[in-house]
């Protein structure tokens, strides 16, 4: 096995510290995301409890007063009920991460692991960054489709782009994926 392949596989299995920390409630439902500095402050103030932390990375203050594992997921210490979450419109703007989360990091063409998003109507033809025009795609499928529509490229979508009923459905799936990785 080549060293670069081994390094790439290692990066995929070890969670990397990011600036975003997931916030879950007492019911383990995702309530949102916060910046890591807000998560650390919330932990110190008793608002959050660390639920999942990075195995090797730590947060340290300059004065030495804080030395704790890097938070990946924090749990609120009180009940938060969010009874209704409004779904965005198909024509509203979506980000790359929102689309990847919505589609579960799964390619809409081959069901492989997706790292990119594909415009069904290419940007060069006026297609925008909207929920209805974007799907998750793996690199080979995205490059194979190139600057064409799926019909022109002879590629069939495994599902139609949709807007999730819950704004955080993809985030919830990602949190469960992180938690399942600990069990495996």
We report the CATH number of the domain holding residue 141 as 1.10.30.50
Query: Are 125 and 75 within one domain?
Result: no
- Whether 66 is covered by a domain: the verdict is yes
Q: Residue 88 in contact with residue 94, Cβ under 8 Å?
A: yes
The secondary structure of 11-50 as a DSSP string is HHHSPPP-SEEEEE-TTS-EEEEEEHHHHHHHHHHTSEEE
Residue finishing a domain among 49, 81, 113: 81
CA distance 148 to 35: 38
Query: Are 72 and 138 within one domain?
Result: no
- Whether 161 is covered by a domain: the verdict is no
Q: What is the mean pLDDT of residues 94-98?
A: 86
- Whether 144 is covered by a domain: the verdict is yes
- Percent of the residues in the chain that have a pLDDT greater than 90, as a whole number: 42
Both structure tokens of 137: 């795609």
Q: Tell me the pLDDT of the chain averaged across its residues.
A: 81
CA distance 165 to 9: 33
Q: With 80 as the cut, is the pLDDT of residue 130 above it?
A: yes
If you count them, how many residues does the chain have?
184
- Whether 19 is covered by a domain: the verdict is yes
- Whether 75 is covered by a domain: the verdict is yes
- Residue numbers of the domain that contains 62: 3-81
User: Which residue(s) pair with 68 in the sheet?
Assistant: 59
Segments in 20-159 forming alpha helices (H): 36-45, 96-102, 139-145, 150-153
Asked which of 61-65, 125-129, 161-165 is least confident by mean pLDDT, the reply is 161-165
Number of domains composing the chain: 2
Strand order from edge to edge, sheet including 67-76: 30-35, 20-24, 67-76, 48-60
CB atoms within 10 A of CB 124: 8
Asked which of 11-20, 100-109, 161-170, 171-180 is least confident by mean pLDDT, the reply is 11-20
Query: Are 101 and 126 within one domain?
Result: yes
């Amino acid at each position: 096995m080549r060293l670069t392949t081994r390094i790439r596989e290692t990066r995929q299995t070890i969670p990397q510290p990011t600036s975003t920390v997931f916030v879950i409630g007492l019911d383990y439902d995702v309530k949102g995301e916060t910046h890591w500095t807000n998560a650390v402050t919330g932990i110190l103030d008793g608002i959050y409890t660390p639920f999942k932390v990075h195995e090797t990375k730590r947060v340290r203050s300059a004065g030495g007063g804080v030395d704790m594992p890097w938070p990946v997921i924090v749990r609120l210490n009180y009940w938060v009920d969010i009874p209704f979450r409004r779904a965005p419109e198909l024509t509203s703007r979506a980000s790359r991460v929102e689309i990847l989360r919505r589609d579960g990091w799964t390619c809409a063409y081959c069901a492989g692991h997706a790292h990119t998003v594909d415009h069904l109507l290419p940007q060069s033809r006026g297609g925008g960054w909207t929920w209805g025009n974007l799907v998750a795609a793996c690199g080979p499928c995205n490059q194979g489709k190139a600057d064409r529509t799926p019909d022109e490229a002879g590629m069939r979508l495994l599902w139609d782009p949709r807007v999730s009923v819950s704004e955080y459905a993809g985030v919830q799936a990602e949190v469960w994926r992180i938690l399942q990785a600990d069990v495996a």
